[in-house]
Amino acid sequence: MRKVIMFETSWCPHCLRTHLILNELMQENPAYEDIRIEFIDEELHPDIAKKYDYYYVPTFYVGTDKLHEGVPSKDIVKNVLDAALAS
């Protein structure tokens, strides 16, 4: 299982919605709770954010692979979590 990194900002409405989606998916599938998700606020940690290639938040990386950037749906977030479980 690979770690998930989610880049976000505190003011981003899509990032806030993504947290709600993550909570919902974890309630639906307890296996997702075992996935280590690192949330990185790009404004608080620009040194880390500059090491990654993305433009929009939220952005998901599973390991070193960027799986999604921008406005997510529940299906997109589920695919990210499934990819983390599968590796």
Domains of the chain and CATH, by start: 4-86 (3.40.30.10)
Band (pLDDT 50/70/90 cuts) for residue 1 is confident
pTM above 0.85, yes or no: yes
Closest CA to 32 of 42, 45, 23: 23
| pLDDT tens per residue, range 23-45 | 999 999 999 999 999 999 999 99
Residues 6+ apart with CB under 8 A from 65: 83
CA distance linking residue 55 with residue 58, whole number of Å: 9
Burial class (CB in 10 A: 0-12, 13-18, 19+), 34: exposed
**How would residue 12 be classed by pLDDT, with cut points 50, 70 and 90?**
very high
Residue 60 · residue 6 · CB < 8 Å? yes
